[in-house]
Structure formats: structure tokens, C-alpha cells
């Protein structure tokens, strides 16, 4: 057995790899030990996933949705006390309850909190993610999603590991070797949307993904996190093929329709 990233012997590796981080609600979509070696698993957790999860925009999202880390902690974020517009530190427990503490001197805080109109709010943060953080995160997911699909189809991974066309993406995920790797990002549904399950209950989609194989031979990872869709070309730093596909399919996400190809064993 060899690692799908570094291609080294991984038979003694023990780590289960989460395709989407546990801190984004993923408990089910994993790769068995050895598919990603322990060394690459630890590296991605520290150098690729952590910068993404620790960015202000993702921390704010995880706070809003009460998404705990694998240690059961919801991020602490900066908030505002209304109507005074005083800065506050916001915390949340796993039940979803929010708490605020004022980031001002204690004497001023006591006076502010006596106001009957006092409420806390957390402004949603946009941005705060560099393109490199996003594309390395997406590249790591893309390689693992393809491996997962091949394993599900009972395909051997040797051909996939030796596929040189994917080496640029592997190296970008592991080392950030490509300075600019264009990607697509857009919102395809509201992050708080509730979906009917066919019965009397509803559910919320935290994350979902697919691999789009276009008729002109390009593969794109398409992943949505709370309704924000990201797409990246698995073959190289180009996104024009995805934009062309969207134009030809009325801008419908590949996750929900259009002429979406699927990966098959070769």
C-alpha cells in the first residue's frame, strides 16, 4: 500500500483520514488507514486544514452554526454589544446557546450591562482567506474524493497514484507549489436552508461534494459548505472549463443537475 499523496509505503500507517475536516461536521466521509500515510495526515491537519478553519470567516461560520471541533469546542469570535456598539468576546456551547463578555474595562462593562436594551450580536465576516489557503484545502479534498470514489468502485489505487497528471495538484496540496491556482466560488443556496427528507422532518446540509468529469476530459472537484460552492480543476491551474460547463448547463450546480459525468475505473 502506498500513500496517495507522497506515494511512499504506508502499510504501517494507523490514521483514518477525514476527507472533510471533523470541525466542519464530517464524521462519515473518511479514508481507511494507509490510503493517506500518517505523515501526510498530520501535515494536512496542521498546515492545510488548520489555516482554513482558523480564518476569521470560517470561525464566524462555525460559531453561527455551532459547529464544534473534534474536541467539542466552538470557536470564540469577536462580537458587538448593541446599542452601545461596544466590542465583545462571544462564546457558544455545544447546545447552541451564546454568551458574551465585554472587551472593555470592568467599570464600563458594569454600566453598559445595566441597560435594558443590551443585546449581543456577531457580525458575519467575509474574506480573511487567502487564495493559497483555499486552493490547497480544495486540492487535498479533491485527491481524497477521487480515491474514495475509486475505492467504492472496488478499483485498485496504483494507477491513480501513478497518474502524473494529478501530481501538480498533489504537490500543491502538500507544498503550495503553484502560486496561483484559479478556482470558482459562489453561493448556490442559503446556509440556513432546511431540506425536506420526504417525511415530516427537515435537515440542513453542512457539506456535500462530487467530481464533475466534463465531455472534454477535465475533472473538477465541486464542494459546497453551507451553500457556498467551490470548484477546482484537478488537472491544472485553469478554471475556464468549469465556467464553460456552467454556461452550457444554465449555471446549475453539478451537485444538483446538468449533464454531469462520473468517474469510472479504467
Give the pLDDT of the chain (266 residues) as one tens digit per residue.
999 999 999 999 999 999 999 999 898 999 999 999 999 999 999 999 999 999 988 988 888 888 888 778 888 887 776 666 667 777 777 665 655 554 555 555 555 555 655 565 555 555 567 899 999 999 999 999 999 999 999 999 999 999 999 999 999 999 999 989 999 999 999 988 888 877 778 888 999 999 999 999 999 999 999 999 999 999 999 999 999 999 999 999 999 876 555 554 43
Measure Cα distances from 47 to 78, 137, 162, 233 in Å.
Answer: 24, 10, 25, 21
3-state secondary structure 10-48: CCCCCCCEECCCHHHCCCCCEECCCCCCHHHHHHHHHHH
Give CA–CA dist 7/5, Å, rounded: 6
The residues facing 221 across adjacent strands are: 211, 232
Biggest distance spanned by C-alpha atoms of the chain? 70
- What is the DSSP code string of 240-258? HHHHHHHHHTTT--TTTSS
3-state secondary structure of 98: strand
CA separation for the pair 188, 201 (Å, rounded): 22
- What is residue 220's three-state secondary structure? strand
The residues that bridge with 195 in the sheet, in sequence order, are 203
CB atoms within 10 A of CB 15: 19
Amino acid at each position: 500500500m502506498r500513500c496517495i499523496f507522497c506515494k511512499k509505503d504506508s502499510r504501517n500507517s494507523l490514521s483514518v483520514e477525514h476527507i472533510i475536516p471533523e470541525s466542519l461536521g464530517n464524521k462519515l466521509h473518511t479514508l481507511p488507514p494507509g490510503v493517506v500515510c500518517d505523515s501526510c495526515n498530520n501535515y494536512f491537519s496542521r498546515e492545510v486544514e488548520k489555516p482554513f478553519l482558523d480564518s476569521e470567516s470560517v470561525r464566524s461560520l462555525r460559531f453561527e452554526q455551532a459547529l464544534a471541533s473534534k474536541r467539542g469546542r466552538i470557536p470564540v469570535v469577536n462580537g458587538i454589544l448593541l446599542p452601545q456598539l461596544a466590542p465583545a468576546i462571544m462564546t457558544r456551547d455545544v447546545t447552541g446557546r451564546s454568551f458574551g463578555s465585554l472587551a472593555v474595562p470592568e467599570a464600563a462593562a458594569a454600566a453598559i450591562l445595566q441597560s435594558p436594551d443590551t443585546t449581543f450580536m456577531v457580525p458575519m465576516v467575509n474574506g480573511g482567506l487567502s487564495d493559497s489557503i483555499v486552493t490547497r484545502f480544495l486540492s487535498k479534498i479533491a485527491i481524497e474524493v477521487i480515491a474514495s470514489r475509486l475505492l467504492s468502485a472496488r478499483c485498485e489505487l496504483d494507477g491513480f497514484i501513478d497518474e502524473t497528471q494529478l501530481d501538480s495538484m498533489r504537490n500543491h496540496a502538500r507544498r503550495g507549489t503553484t502560486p496561483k491556482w484559479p478556482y470558482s466560488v459562489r453561493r448556490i443556496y442559503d446556509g440556513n436552508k432546511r431540506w425536506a427528507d420526504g417525511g415530516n422532518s427537515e435537515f440542513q446540509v453542512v457539506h456535500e461534494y462530487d467530481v464533475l468529469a466534463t465531455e472534454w476530459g477535465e475533472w473538477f472537484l465541486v464542494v459546497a459548505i453551507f451553500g457556498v460552492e467551490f470548484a477546482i480543476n484537478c488537472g491544472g491551474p485553469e478554471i475556464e472549463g468549469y465556467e464553460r460547463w456552467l454556461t452550457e448547463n444554465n449555471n446549475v450546480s453539478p451537485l444538483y443537475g446538468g449533464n454531469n459525468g462520473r468517474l469510472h475505473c479504467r
